[in-house]
């Protein structure tokens, strides 16, 4: 998979992909992540990437031209499965979207800023608009990092058996059960006996029960879908 991220703040995206699982995914060749600075495609002498909005009102709008020329350059080089715009008014991201997107070959992710991009960018180029939740971030970069992480860890080979995505919360529409490690007792708090029993069938049953109980308690909406 190849992911091209378009941003006016490339620095914000330096560390998320250079550590741990995301770093290893790139080193092993499962994904190539390119961060492009939209400002490099600004044509005016001040390298502006935003402008006042027509009709008046507070807040700048991201200009069409630098974004358009970057997207068109990339699209001449290869075909993209989706051109995604990260925006608080997009569709709220869920695990099923990540599962689908993890099957992509090439993705473009545009990070929104200020009051957003000129609407014509959305009309002409964007195939999908994604939000990561009902709150506002200063820009789309952190949201893009969340999206990329959620997608890349699903590419076969990125996770090993121990970290397998198949047992993640949400993959079966359930939250994960509680987990424990040593010591067996901490300040009077004991690890449930069943987990120390060695009875794999009972342990599996206990985990399913706890996952269901936890989901009913914390996320009943997941069970209604």
Footprint of ligand 6GU on this chain (CB under 6 A)?
86-88, 112, 131-133, 135-137, 139-140, 143
Measured from the CB atom, the residue of 137 and 195 that comes closer to ligand 6GU is 137
Distance between start and end Cα atoms, the chain? 31
Maximum C-alpha span of the chain: 71
Please, what is the minimum distance in Å from the beta carbon of residue 92 to ligand 6GU?
8
Please, what is the minimum distance in Å from the beta carbon of residue 189 to ligand 6GU?
36
Q: If you count them, how many residues does the chain have?
A: 225
For residue 137, report the phi and psi dihedrals to the nearest 5 degrees: -100, 165
Q: C-alpha distances in angstroms, 118 versus 47, 74, 93, 124, 186?
A: 17, 19, 23, 11, 56
Distance CA 159, CA 165 (A): 7
Please, what is the minimum distance in Å from the beta carbon of residue 116 to ligand 6GU?
9
Measured from the CB atom, the residue of 143 and 174 that comes closer to ligand 6GU is 143
Segment holding 216, helix H or strand E: helix 200-218
Measured from the CB atom, the residue of 137 and 222 that comes closer to ligand 6GU is 137
Measured from the CB atom, the residue of 140 and 177 that comes closer to ligand 6GU is 140
Measured from the CB atom, the residue of 62 and 86 that comes closer to ligand 6GU is 86
Q: Is 155 exposed, middle or buried (0-12, 13-18, 19+ CB in 10 A)?
A: middle
Please, what is the minimum distance in Å from the beta carbon of residue 52 to ligand 6GU?
20
Distance CA 64, CA 67 (A): 6
Angle at 75 between CA 149 and CA 25, to 5 degrees: 25
Please, what is the minimum distance in Å from the beta carbon of residue 57 to ligand 6GU?
18
């Amino acid at each position: 998979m190849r992911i091209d991220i378009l941003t006016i703040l490339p620095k914000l995206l330096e560390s998320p992909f250079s550590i741990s699982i995301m770093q290893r995914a790139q080193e092993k060749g499962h994904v190539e992540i390119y961060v492009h600075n939209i400002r490099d495609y600004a044509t005016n002498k001040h390298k502006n990437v935003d402008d006042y909005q027509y009709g008046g009102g507070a807040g700048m709008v991201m200009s069409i031209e630098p974004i358009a020329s970057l997207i068109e350059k990339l699209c001449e080089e290869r075909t993209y499965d989706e051109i995604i715009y990260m925006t608080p008014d997009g569709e709220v991201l869920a695990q099923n979207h990540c599962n689908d997107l993890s099957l992509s070959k090439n993705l473009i992710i545009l990070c929104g800023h200020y009051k957003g991009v000129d609407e014509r960018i959305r009309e002409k180029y964007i195939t999908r608009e994604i939000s990561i939740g009902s709150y506002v971030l200063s820009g789309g970069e952190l949201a893009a990092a969340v999206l990329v992480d959620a997608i890349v860890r699903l590419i076969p080979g990125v996770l090993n058996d121990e970290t397998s995505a198949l047992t993640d919360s949400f993959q079966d529409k359930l939250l994960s059960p509680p987990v424990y490690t040593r010591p067996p007792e901490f300040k009077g708090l004991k690890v449930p006996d069943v987990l120390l029993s060695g009875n794999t069938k009972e342990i599996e049953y206990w985990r399913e029960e706890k996952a269901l109980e936890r989901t009913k308690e914390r996320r009943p909406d997941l069970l209604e879908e």
